[in-house]
Amino acid sequence: MSTLWLCLAVTAAMGGTILCKLKKSPGQGGRKVVCLAGLWGGACLLSLSLFWGSIIFSLSCFLMCTFFSGQELLPVDQKAVLVTGSDSGIGNALCKHLDQLGFTVFAGVLNAQGSGAEELRRTCSKCLTVLQLDITDPEQIKDAFSKVVEKVQNRGLWALINNAGVLGLPGDGELIPMNGYKQCMAVNFFGAVEVTKAFLPLLRKSRGRLVNISSMAGGAPMPWLAAYGSSKAALTMFSSVMRQELSKWGVKVSVIQPAGFKTNISGTSETWDKMEKNILDNLSPDVQEDYGQDYILQLRSYLKFVDQQTNSDLSPVLLDIQHAISSKSPCAFYSSGIFSYMWLCFVSFTPTGIFDHFTQKLFDFTKFMPKALRKSDWKNKAM
C-alpha cells in the first residue's frame, strides 16, 4: 500500500510540474501532448491493476517532464526576424505580436505604401522595419537581403517566417486555368524557396529558425483547392527536406498548418470577378458546356461559406509561430486550430475510401453539381 501511495504522490508532483511548464509555453503543441498523455494514462489506470497503472502513468509523466524541459523559451534579446506577406492577415498580426515581445522585426510587404505597411509603421516600435518585398521578384529579394544585412551586421538573422501566400478562386481542378496553378506555385512555393535560399546564410550564422506557413490543405486533400493545396503540399515537403539537411548547421525548421482563420487571402469581390472571367476565358466549349456557367459562377459561394466558418482569433497561429522561433526544441509541425489537428489525424489514420466518403458527405456535392451531371441520362450515356 505504501508503494501505491508513493506512486500516486510522484504522479501528482509530476502532473503539477507539467501544468506549470504548460502555462509558460506558448503554442498548441504542448496542450495536445498533455491530452494524449492523459488519455494514455487513463487507459492504463482502467485496463491494468491500480499498482501497475500508477507505475505506467508515472512513467508517462516523467517522459512528459523530459519533453517540456526542451520547451523552455530562449530570451528574445532583440533577435532579428523577417516576416513575408505582412500587408494584412496573419503576417500583419504576427509583426505586431513579435514587436511587442521585443524582437527586431523586418516586415516584408507587397506594397510598402499600402495601408497595411502604414499601420505597422504607426503602431509598432522603431525596432520594426518595413521592407518592400514581392517574393516573386528576385531584385526585391536581393534588395531586402541587403537592407537586412546592413542592420543585423554580424548577428545574423534569427528567424525567417515565409508567410506570404495566395489562394486563387476555388474550383474543380479541371476548371482552374494553368495560370492559376502557376500563380499559386509562384507565390506559395517558388517564392518561399527563393526567399529561403537568399536568407539561409544569415540563418546558418545565427543557428536560427526557418518557419514556413503551409496549410491543412497541404496535408489533406480538400475539394476545389487543387492549385492551392498542391502548392502548400510542395512547401510542406520542401520544409521537411530542409529540416533534415539544415540540422547539421543547427538551424531548426518548422511547418505551421493552420485551419481556417479570417485573413485577406481569399481576396475581394473585385478579385473574384477577375478570377471568374479568367476561368471562363480559358475553358474549351465542351468543358464549359458540361459544367455550365451557373456552376462556375456559384464557386464563389464556397469562399463566402469559408469566410463565415473561419476564426477571427489569430492567437493560436501567433502562439505556435512564437513557440517555433523561441523554444529550445521547436516542433517540426504545428497544426494551429482544433479542426486542423483533427482533420490531419483523420486523413492520416483513416482508410482512403472512408475518408473520401466522409469528405463527400461533409461538402455535400449533391447540392452543387455541374450541369451535365444534373441530366438524368448522363449516367446511361457513360455506361
For residues 235 and 212, the answer to whether their CB atoms sit within 8 Å is: yes
pLDDT at 343: 87
User: pTM for this structure?
Assistant: 0.81
Long-range CB contacts for residues 283-292, cutoff 8 Å, separation at least 24:
283/175, 283/177, 287/174, 287/175, 289/371, 289/372, 290/370, 290/371, 290/372, 291/172, 291/175, 291/370, 291/371, 291/372, 292/370, 292/371, 292/372
Burial of 104 (0-12, 13-18, 19+ CB in 10 A): buried
Instruction: Give pLDDT < 50 ranges for the chain.
Output: none
For residues 365 and 241, the answer to whether their CB atoms sit within 8 Å is: no
pLDDT at 359: 86
Residue 289's H or E segment, with its range, is helix 285-291
pLDDT at 215: 95
Question: Does 228 qualify as catalytic in the annotation?
Answer: yes
Q: Which three cell numbers stand for residue 187?
A: 507565390
The SS3 call for residue 73 is strand
Residue 122: how many other CB atoms lie within 10 Å: 7
pLDDT at 380: 53
Q: Which of 163, 133, 184 is nearest to 263 (CA)?
A: 163
Domain ranges of the chain: 2-69, 80-269+312-349
Positive or negative, the CA dihedral 184, 190, 194, 195 is: positive
**CATH number of the domain located at residue range(s) 80-269+312-349 in this protein:** 3.40.50.720
pLDDT at 99: 97
pLDDT at 173: 94
Q: Which of 57, 72, 60, 62 is nearest to 27 (CA)?
A: 72
pLDDT at 300: 74
From the list 228, 295, 334, 341, the catalytic residue is 228
pLDDT at 32: 56
pLDDT at 361: 82
Q: How far apart are the C-alpha atoms of 341 and 335, rounded to whole Å? A: 5
Size of the chain in residues: 383
pLDDT at 259: 87
